[in-house]
Amino acid sequence: MPAAAMLLLAASAFAAEPRGERELRDVAYAEPAHDKQTLDVYAPAEGENHPIVVWIHGGGWQAGDKSEVAHKPAAFVERGYVFVSVNYRLLQDATIGEMAGDVARAVRWTRDHAEDFGGDAKRIFVAGHSAGAQLAALVCTDERRLAAEGMSLADILGCVPVDGDTYDVPLQIATVEQRIADIYRRKFGDEASQRDLSPVTHAAADKHIPPFLVLYVAEHPETSLQTRRLVEALTAAGVPASGFAAEDTDHVALDADLGLKDDEPTAAMFAFLAERLEREDGR
């Protein structure tokens, strides 16, 4: 069934949930669609022009699912955001570069259909955890990904990568033990491919790269190093970027706890989103 027809069919069942949100599940964003090229939408039950967050799950580029969102949908919807959780093709079926293309397609679908679920096509954020952090950062720095979908980096209001370890793939390979380095080589390819799939490679001035907030585990040596590297590269290119070191947590818990009340990374994330929205509304 064509993606447009699937959207119309799904929209007819886009009913309000008891907790005050509308849900739209398993919508194809590509045509013809692979079974992984689907997304879920969680939206406030009422209103329009809600800002949108596109979320990319982790899983080492070989596992994970858009349903693994824990507290995030409720937390975002309660604050008036639309939350879009994206699946993408995984290793065996796609390269990491093709996965980034899937994410860009999902962002384009989100922009094109924003009004259908009360969203604002001009206020889209991209975020993701672990492997999803690398994909989010790549799509928000390498202009070719969105350009292939008729969009630009200027269409993204902000980016929130969460505890990624491959913003600079060659650096990661150089700083981990040989056995782990070999796994990254198999996933990312030769040195030229490693550089091309590294968000830091694409950090440059005058590209309209959106501002970044990079969340990371304070005690995690790899994601701490990678966050510093990404923030430094972006800042050197004149892009507003900062890191937030999450204390007393780990790689899995940082993701799982996002959205919980009294969670400091959650507060930092929503403060960043609110600041970006305020600046955009003030233009």
Average of per-residue pLDDT across 229-248 = 98
Look up residue 282 and give its DSSP letter. T
Q: Class assignment of domain 3-281?
A: alpha beta
pLDDT band at 270 (very low <50, low <70, confident <90, very high): very high
d(CA 68, CA 282) in angstroms, rounded, equals 35
- Cβ atoms 164, 137 nearer than 8 A: yes
Distance between first and last Cα of the chain: 42
d(CA 50, CA 118) in angstroms, rounded, equals 6
- Cβ atoms 100, 82 nearer than 8 A: no
Residue with tokens 């050197």: 236
d(CA 9, CA 261) in angstroms, rounded, equals 35
d(CA 113, CA 121) in angstroms, rounded, equals 8
- Cβ atoms 50, 38 nearer than 8 A: no
d(CA 56, CA 257) in angstroms, rounded, equals 16
Torsional class of 49: left (φ above 0), alpha (ψ -120 to 50), beta (otherwise) = left
pLDDT band at 21 (very low <50, low <70, confident <90, very high): confident
* pLDDT tens digits along 191-214: 999 999 999 999 999 999 999 999
Other C-beta atoms closer than 10 Å to the C-beta of 278 total: 9
**What is the model's pLDDT at position 94?**
97
**What is the model's pLDDT at position 147?**
98
pLDDT band at 280 (very low <50, low <70, confident <90, very high): confident
Q: Tell me how long the chain is.
A: 283
**What is the model's pLDDT at position 283?**
66
pLDDT of 19 over the 70 cut: no
Helix (H) or strand (E) segment spanning residue 150: none
pLDDT of 17 over the 80 cut: no
Q: Kindly provide the residue ranges of all beta strands, DSSP E only, lying in 152-249, ordered along the sequence.
A: 156-162, 212-217, 241-246
Q: In what order do the strands lie in the sheet with 21-28?
A: 21-28, 38-44, 82-86, 50-56, 119-129, 156-162, 212-217, 241-246
**What is the model's pLDDT at position 282?**
73
Look up residue 153 and give its DSSP letter. G
pLDDT band at 82 (very low <50, low <70, confident <90, very high): very high
* pLDDT tens digits along 104-128: 999 999 999 999 999 999 999 999 9
Q: Sort 76 into a burial class: Cβ within 10 Å, 0-12 / 13-18 / 19+.
A: buried
**Domain-by-domain residue ranges, the chain?**
3-281
Q: Are strands 212-217 and 241-246 parallel, antiparallel or unpaired?
A: parallel
3-state secondary structure at position 144: helix
Radius of gyration of the chain (CA): 18
pLDDT of 9 over the 60 cut: no
Closest CA to 110 of 60, 51, 66, 168: 51
